[in-house]
Amino acid sequence: MNAAARIGILGGTLDPIHLGHLDTACAARAALALDQVIVLPLRVPPHRPQQPAASPYHRFAMAALAVNGRTGLTVSDMELSAPGPSYTADTLTRFHAVSGLPARQIFFITGADAFAEIATWYRYPEVLQLAQFVVVSRPGHPLRGLREQVPDLALRMLPANGVTAPAAEPAIYLVNADTADVSSTAIRRRIAAGESIAGLVPPCVETHICQHRLYGHSDADHVHGQN
């Protein structure tokens, strides 16, 4: 990997990946002039009581289809073989080892809703030393008020303008963006109810879901299989 690269990481269950995920990745890349954003499906999400509905194979396949042809976006299966829950701190530690990049060149991308709960994350506050953080607004979760929600980190929050601040420690960059108002939970519910998901996921992802009968179809062999 280029020693001067600026790499974004967007991790998540991606069950399934949708246009909101892609909008977030693209907004972060544009705002901070990132060379690449790696979309990283997680094998075992740490904060979900239930396992993902689709297998790691299918979630990786859908992510790969979704980023295909999108400039600056790629996908990695690094977390799919990792043991235990996919905590952000552990993911970033593994990425440091694989890439050899310092924290200032790694940009972990998350939504404002998730970041508001940062104090509950595993290995907090150490996790904030492992990468620059990029917090992107989401529908219903604007950036205004975030400093009041997480006052201990207010001084590290900076507007994203394509320039990395010469701070003594990794910063938290705030990105206002228009992202699709959609969630994976809502998509799964629509599929189970026999409703259309057109316009919520890329067409190639919708085709994959239909071909493999994911999320609520009666043929259970297709839900977790690799056909």
Quick one: pLDDT band at residue 217, thresholds 50, 70, 90? low
Handedness of CA 73, 74, 75, 79 (dihedral sign): negative
**Does 164 score more than 80 pLDDT?**
no
Taking alpha carbons only, the member of 133, 126, 75 closest to residue 104 is 133
Phi-psi region of 102 (alpha: psi -120 to 50; beta: other; left: phi over 0): beta
Q: Where are the domains of the chain?
A: 7-179
Handedness of CA 206, 52, 71, 159 (dihedral sign): positive
Residues 20-48 pLDDT 10s: 999 999 999 999 999 999 999 998 877 76
Confidence at residue 223, expressed as pLDDT on a 0 to 100 scale: 38
What is the average per-residue pLDDT within 54-71?
A: 96
Residues 95-130 pLDDT 10s: 999 999 999 999 999 999 999 999 999 999 999 999
- Full-model pTM: 0.91
Give the fold, CATH level 3, of 7-179. Rossmann fold (3.40.50)
